[in-house]
Amino acid sequence: MSDLQNDYLWDKSGHADPEIARLEALLAPLGQTSPPPPLGFAVEIPRRMRPLAAMAMLAAAAVVVLGLVTMVWRATHSGPAAPGLTLTQTYTTAGAGEISREGHLPVGGWLETARSRATIAVGEIGQVDVEPGSRLSLLSTTPGDYRLHLERGTLHALIWAPPGQFFVETPSSTAVDLGCAYTLTVDDAGDGLVRVTSGWVGFEWHGRESFIPMGAVCRTRKGLGPGTPHYDDAADRFRGALETLDFGDGLARAMALDTALESARERDAMSLWHLLSRVAPADRDRVFDALAKFVPPPPDVTRDGIRAGRQDMLDAWWNKLGLDTASWWRTWKQQWRGVKGDEK
């Protein structure tokens, strides 16, 4: 009779296989010292099924032993993890096709993808794909503050962590992840463009803020910060007017405001809301009226308050746009500033 056909595994009768005895001795320290409470029912396994059940038990025991051995090996052989992120860089060659290699991007290190692509695993919170011709560095891997610096090129970020965990600094703005997927491009002059495909991105530079929802884009210029976001399907006249308002000179900006207010659609209310705090106080009444045609202000939002740039009134009106509330951004900024204050 083979070892799988006797009853040793069930009632200790019969011959004990040496390997089973060795596993029992190895697992003995993990055994329960007192008998478990009765289950209240019994399961009778037919004798003809016992060989298969015994094989399953052996396999399960082997998995447990392998797990224990792995844990012991890691505890005794692994040193502290080097700060940084893992990456896979892929090169396209003429003869061999695509060649990939694994690598490590340390904090303070640079990655250049002249003729290659790279995929960076951002801890357990997301992934960044880097296009050819890009140059970026890793600034921080602190939990809650994963931070890259994109000097030039294009990256695609997919982040599934809570808001405010992942940042990409550029020469002209910092992109703040709010649980999203987006593409960020920076040219050789340091100017950038973000395009959001899911969730939200915050663009910030020296207190100038842009909230970019899914389906919207936003430009940023070195020395000036983020412009006014607009939806991808906005009219050319409207988009051109916004760019002039953001980055043009005085006379051109005055004419551009007329064009923006005349060509705005209801869907452009998100852009008009940003203009409330960006045009001169003397022009805010005009933007107030244009936005109010599409989204009436809440009762506690007044012309005087908007003219004065009151943030609470701006946030209250934003909340009426149907694009989520502004509280997530304000709460995150308070928490982030508190953490930064604790570090000083």
Using left for φ > 0, alpha for ψ between -120 and 50, and beta otherwise, residue 108 falls in left
Q: What is the pLDDT of residue 162?
A: 81
* Domain membership of residue 250 as a residue range: 84-331
Identify whether 284 is part of a domain. Answer: yes
Nearest-angstrom CA–CA distance, 306 and 282: 11
Burial class (CB in 10 A: 0-12, 13-18, 19+), 337: exposed
> DSSP state, 195?
E
> 333 exposed, middle or buried (CB, 10 Å; 0-12, 13-18, 19+)?
middle
Quickly list H helices, the chain.
Answer: 8-11, 18-27, 50-77, 236-247, 250-263, 269-276, 284-294, 303-307, 311-318, 327-343
- Of the ranges 156-165, 301-310, 315-324, 335-344, which is most confident? 301-310
Give CA angle at 301 (298, 306), nearest 5°.
135
Total domains in the chain come to 1
Q: Of 146-155, 202-211, 264-273, 285-294, where does mean pLDDT reach its minimum?
A: 202-211
Parallel, antiparallel, or unpaired for β 145-159 and 166-169?
Answer: parallel
Beta-bridge partner residues of 267: none
Q: Which residue has the higher pLDDT, 26 or 59?
A: 26
Q: Share the mean pLDDT of the chain.
A: 80
Tokens of 179: 């649980």
Q: What CATH number does the domain containing 279 carry?
A: 2.60.120.1440
- DSSP states of 268-294 as a string? GHHHHHHHHTTS-GGGHHHHHHHHHHH
User: Once rounded to an integer, what is the mean pLDDT over residues 196-219?
Assistant: 92
Q: Please say if the pLDDT value at position 293 is more than 80.
A: yes
Return the exposure string of 14-31: e unless at least 16 CB atoms fall within 10 Å of the residue's CB, then b.
Answer: eeebeebeebeeeeeeee
Q: Is residue 200 part of a domain?
A: yes
Q: Are 119 and 128 in contact (CB under 8 A)?
A: yes
Tell me, yes or no, whether 70 lies in a domain: no
Whether residue 71 has pLDDT greater than 50: no
Residues paired with 230 in a beta bridge: 217
pLDDT of residue 21: 61
Residue range 44-67: mean pLDDT, rounded? 43
Structural domain includes residue 122: yes
pLDDT recorded at residue 301: 97
Q: Is residue 151 situated within a structural domain? A: yes
In a domain, 137, yes or no: yes
Residue-wise pLDDT for 228-271, tens only, equals 999 999 999 999 999 999 999 878 888 999 999 999 999 999 99
pTM, entire model? 0.72
Token pair for 255? 């004419």
pLDDT band at 327 (very low <50, low <70, confident <90, very high): low
Whether 177 is in a domain gets the answer yes
